[in-house]
Amino acid sequence: MLGEQNLDHDGAPAEPRHPPVIDKPVLIAEPLLPDLKDLIPLLEGIWERKYVTNHGPLHEQLEAALADHLGVKTAMLFNNATIGLIAALKLFDLPPGSEVITTPMTFAATAHAISWNGLTPVFADILPGTMTLDPAAVEKAITSRTSAILGVHVYGTLCDVDAFARIGASRDIRIIYDAAHAFGATRSGVPVSQFGDASIFSFHATKLFNTLEGGLVATPRESDRKKIYYLRNFGIKNEEEVVEIGINGKMNEVQAAIGLLNLRLVAAEKAKRRRLRNRYIEILGDLDGIQLPAEQPEVENSEQYFPIVIDETRFGRTRDQIYDALKARKVFSRKYFYPICTDFEPYRHLKIVSTRAIPYAEEVKMRVLCLPFHSNVSEDAVSVIHDVMHARP
């Protein structure tokens, strides 16, 4: 909500206009961008040094700042989270062809990273409520070929990290988290990156903290640094030695400059999104057939997405009808995640392992809708969403 232009002098949201007016399309996300005047001196420094990539000084500064911010021993920047995921899976030398259990309710990159490593994705069902991997379905999917579980803290909602820690400890299975949506989330004060063997964050422009494109691999062990460094930089040890099958995962200095400036803006953006979250709960909370985002009382939310689940039998209208009605009024929600990974050509032949007759992921993919979620969602846009959701069919 509540972009600066929609705040009155004491910071309270301005009253919506009647009828509410949407001058400019309201999108699901808007990149958080620093003030150009703050960026220019950093760009001048880069130009002067002519040190534009390959672990330059701003890169090093950002990496250290993020290790501190995320409270993690090893934090290594990448050029995007997809390459970060690919590198993180490679870190553990999982046996070729072995199975990695993951969720179908995610962006394609999660599954692709498994396939790019020559590993076999196995899809397990998700839990109603959190929409994260269901530990019982995961247990059912484990075979003698399982080498890892790749959970996704989808929308910023945390996986059942305790259940997966138990599963990982009882067998020789790595627990890796796609934390693309979970930047800065904590549970009982413990940073999300402390759970599992590795966590991968995305700094894509759609993410709350962004470097335009970017990502980060975090692990709880200092000893991983060297290998991740090689994986990120072609495996180059020195001018004459290449010691790993690495990739080019380096973030450049311009991206790092944006990151350093955006890091200062994250707290304020998060606070505004928290207010928007509360506004959405206020206007949708009393609607029959609308499930609001899962409450995880001990979790500090990353404020990445606001997903609702629309049960058309109780609500009277379908998710797609709501999506269309909002779009007709220039409010663009997104059907994250529909289609799900098992609907995509490369994975269509794979069944979702579930404890139910029909996987919950198959049901909820038709019902889930993410509302616009960033600090420039105006009170007028909130009014439009209110009107569309409260209109009688």
Cα–Cα–Cα angle for 120, 123, 125, rounded to 5 degrees:
165
Q: Which CB sits closer to ligand PLP, 80 or 378?
A: 80
Q: Which CB sits closer to ligand PLP, 309 or 341?
A: 341
Cα–Cα–Cα angle for 160, 165, 166, rounded to 5 degrees:
105
- Shortest reach from residue 270's CB to ligand PLP, in Å: 18
Q: Which CB sits closer to ligand PLP, 153 or 367?
A: 153
* 3-class SS of residue 328: helix
Q: Which CB sits closer to ligand PLP, 233 or 304?
A: 304
Residues counted in the chain: 393
Instruction: State how far the Cα of 337 lies from the Cα of 346, in Å rounded to an integer.
Output: 17
- Shortest reach from residue 95's CB to ligand PLP, in Å: 24
Q: Which CB sits closer to ligand PLP, 100 or 180?
A: 180
- Shortest reach from residue 293's CB to ligand PLP, in Å: 16
Instruction: State how far the Cα of 298 lies from the Cα of 187, in Å rounded to an integer.
Output: 6
Instruction: State how far the Cα of 200 lies from the Cα of 61, in Å rounded to an integer.
Output: 19
Residue entry with tokens 């009882």:
170
- Shortest reach from residue 102's CB to ligand PLP, in Å: 10
Q: Using CB under 6 A, list all residues that contact ligand PLP.
A: 80-82, 106-107, 109-110, 152, 178, 180-181, 202, 204, 215
- Shortest reach from residue 77's CB to ligand PLP, in Å: 12
The contacts of residue 21 (CB under 8 Å, 6+ apart) are 380
Instruction: State how far the Cα of 127 lies from the Cα of 164, in Å rounded to an integer.
Output: 14
Q: Which CB sits closer to ligand PLP, 152 or 310?
A: 152
Q: Which amino acid is at 125?
A: D
- Shortest reach from residue 377's CB to ligand PLP, in Å: 19
